[in-house]
Structure 1
Amino acid sequence: MRLAKQLIDATFADRIFFCNSGAEANEAALKLARKYAHDRFGSEKSGIVAFKNAFHGRTLFTVSAGGQPAYSQDFCAAAAADSARHL
Structure 2
Amino acid sequence: MSTTVYGMDIAAGRDLSRVMNSDADTINQLTAQLTQRLENTPWYGPDAQRFTSDWHGQYVPALQNVVNALQENATIIAQQADDQERASS
Same fold judged by TM-score > 0.5? Answer: no
Between Structure 1 and Structure 2, the one with more helix by share is: 2
Give 1 or 2 for the bigger CA radius of gyration.
2
Between Structure 1 and Structure 2, which shows a larger proportion of strand residues? 1
Higher relative contact order (CA 8 A, sep 6+): 2
